[in-house]
Amino acid sequence: MGKQYKVVRISENWSSVKLREKVENTMNKFSKEGWEVIDVSFLANTYIAMITFSK
């Protein structure tokens, strides 16, 4: 079986600081499970982040 990929969407309605904390926590969680971060993208003018992982 080849590489697996996972895309995670994270949103926060009130604060870019809280969004950053959620992104860090998510990255740490998946990293502990053996996933590697491929990309982190933040959508302009909204508090939404997309994280791509591979394993």
Ordered by start, the domain boundaries in the chain are: 5-54
pLDDT digits (tens, 9 = 90+) for 5-41: 999 999 998 888 999 999 999 999 999 999 999 999 9
| Three-class SS of the chain | CCCCEEEEEEECCCCHHHHHHHHHHHHHHHHHCCCEEEEEEECCCCCEEEEEEEC
Q: Please, which residues bridge with residue 8 across strands?
A: 51
pTM of the model: 0.85
Dist. CA 31–CA 14, nearest whole Å: 26
Give yes or no for residue 43 having a pLDDT over 80.
Answer: yes
Cα distances from 34 to residues 22, 44, 52, in angstroms, run: 19, 29, 13
